Chains A and B, each alone.
Chain A
Amino acid sequence: MKRIFIATALAAALVLGLAAQSPANPRLRIATTTSTEQSGLLAAILPAFEKATGYRTEVVAVGTGASLKIGEKGDCDVVIVHARALEDAFMAAGFGADRRDLMYNDFIVLGPAADPAGVAKTKSALEAFSAIAKAQAGFVSRGDNSGTHTKEKDIWKAVVIAPAGVWYKEAGQGMSQVILMAEQMGAYTLADRGTWLAMKDKSSLKILSQGDKLYFNPYGVITVNPAKWPQANYAGAKALMEWLTGPTGRALIEGYKIGGEQCFYLY
């Protein structure tokens, strides 16, 4: 079966004149935070990678914590995530082979235009979060160990508040679901800018706090360690990493815009 498949793939590659570039194992599995998928970035740039290299990408979008777990178990070949501390732990434990900074953008606090907690008047992330907690205004948390959830917990820790009570709702859902939920509940939430740009036409929420250093949101790409998981498609993972951080990938990431606004920035 596999041999037939390879033969067909080779034949197809010959026909297309791509024989030199056709990879032995074309299937490349990417586990990623929901924001790279829900912002539309991956769907926009991956076809170019597939065309240039012959790899066939499969994207599982589940959140940073879950993506790293999937990588840990060898169930994907490469992860694209955004929680530096978790990424470093992943590398230190030997689950990843290589890690590179990919891109960055920032987090923002979204809320209803009426702004019952007065977040728009605050000058920093810490002030914004304490205002929400003080007013006990509704706040929807991702609650799923995603990169955004990790950031949110870090900020609560920094303001020395352990959020609890009826006003604090842990959704356990992806970013765009949580934005929809926050709107329906008239609540606040922390969101990544990429997903927000993809959602803002469908939402009446407003950006009420942004620009603080604490809101920095860096993304990293990590190849799954082939020493730990020999079945992992390391060649493909490496090819994707090189492509994403190479001139073509960089140009496409930088050029990716939603409604004229740039989603992700390069170092």
Chain B
Amino acid sequence: MREAFGLLLSGDRETWHIVWLSVRFSLFSTLFSAAPGIALGAALASRPFRGRRFLAAALNALTALPTVVVGLFAYSLVTRSGPLGFTGFLFAPGGVILGQSLLALPVVAALTYTGLARLDPRFRETLVTLGAGRGRRFLATLREARPVLIAAIVAAFGRVTGEVGVSMMLGGNIRWSTRTMTTAIALDAAKGDFERALSLGLVLLVLALGVNVALHAIAPDER
């Protein structure tokens, strides 16, 4: 345990590079999944239609999909013989970010949908009586639901920082390129380097704590 801390504090270059890559991939994939996810969730919540409950259930199911399944699907897209093969994303950062975005998208959408569906229905009616147009109504709703949206995004960030299936399959755990905290932990544990694995685990823990503390600071639970 002491060695684990020592490794971090001594500023081992590779360890910190791995941490940096992890954070970068997670930020990008959260960012890429946030807009379409929120749009999807909002569209679903905006008015009832046939099959809405089925779609919402499907979305919820997707949030629990094993990461290796998402990884497998993304792999089949970006392999040279796949439809996105020309991108050269496989075994490159692009592949990890693509896979993680696919992983995060349903999380953002499902949480946005549940959050918006729970808004007081009078809120919308008030907007309508005030004569707000569609666009204004949409923006006002998003502002009202800000804590929900932030929570959705943070949950997505949590899902992608903690996953190993997509990173391993699409990134290939390449040193200095796609070796993230989770794949490095898997490798270190495999090689029996438990101190290093443990030190990265600690960083992951601190990161998760930090993000959640930050969330509570900017979006206090109002109830």
Residues of A within 8 A of B (CB): 29, 38, 43, 58-62, 73-76, 173-174, 176-177, 180, 198-199, 202-203, 229, 231
Contacts and interface: CB of A to CB of B under 8 A. Distances in A.
A59 B174 CA distance: 6
A73 B191 CA distance: 29
B174 A231 contact: no
A174 B190 contact: yes
A75 B80 contact: yes
B187 to A, nearest CB: 9
A175 to B, nearest CB: 9
Given A74-B81, A75-B79, A173-B190, A60 B172 contact: yes
Chain B residues touching A, majority SS: loop
Given A74-B85, A75-B79, 16 more contacts: A29-B91, A58-B91, A58-B172, A58-B174, A59-B174, A62-B172, A73-B79, A73-B80, A73-B81, A75-B90, A176-B190, A176-B192, A177-B190, A180-B192, A199-B192, A231-B88
B177 interface: yes
Interface residues of B, number: 16
Interface of A is mostly: mixed
B53 interface: no
Contacts of A199: 191-192
Interface of B: 79-81, 85-86, 88, 90-91, 172-175, 177, 190-192
Contacts of B81: 73-74
A59 B80 contact: no
Given A73-B79, A73-B81, A231-B80, A38 B191 contact: yes
Contacts of A74: 80-81, 85
Q: In this complex, which of A75, A76, A229 has the most chain B Cβ atoms within 10 angstroms of its Cβ? A: A75
A76 B91 contact: yes
Nearest to A229: B80
B192 A202 contact: yes
B91 A60 contact: yes
Contacts of A43: 175
Contacts of A59: 174-175
Nearest to A232: B80
A158 B177 CA distance: 42
Contact of A75 (B91, B177, B192): B91
15 contacts: A58-B172, A60-B91, A60-B172, A60-B173, A60-B174, A61-B173, A73-B80, A74-B85, A75-B91, A173-B190, A176-B191, A176-B192, A177-B190, A180-B190, A231-B88
A62 B174 CA distance: 11
A62 B172 CA distance: 8
A209 to B, nearest CB: 23
Shortest beta-carbon contacts, A-B, top 4: A74-B80, A60-B172, A202-B192, A177-B190
Nearest to A34: B190
A105 B164 CA distance: 33
Contacts of B91: 29, 58, 60, 75-76
A231 B85 CA distance: 10
Contacts of B174: 58-60
Nearest to A40: B191
A51 B170 CA distance: 27
A43 B177 CA distance: 14
B72 to A, nearest CB: 14
Nearest to A181: B190
A74 B91 CA distance: 12
A74 B85 CA distance: 10
A60 B183 CA distance: 12
Contacts of A60: 91, 172-174
Contacts of B85: 74
Contacts of A180: 190, 192
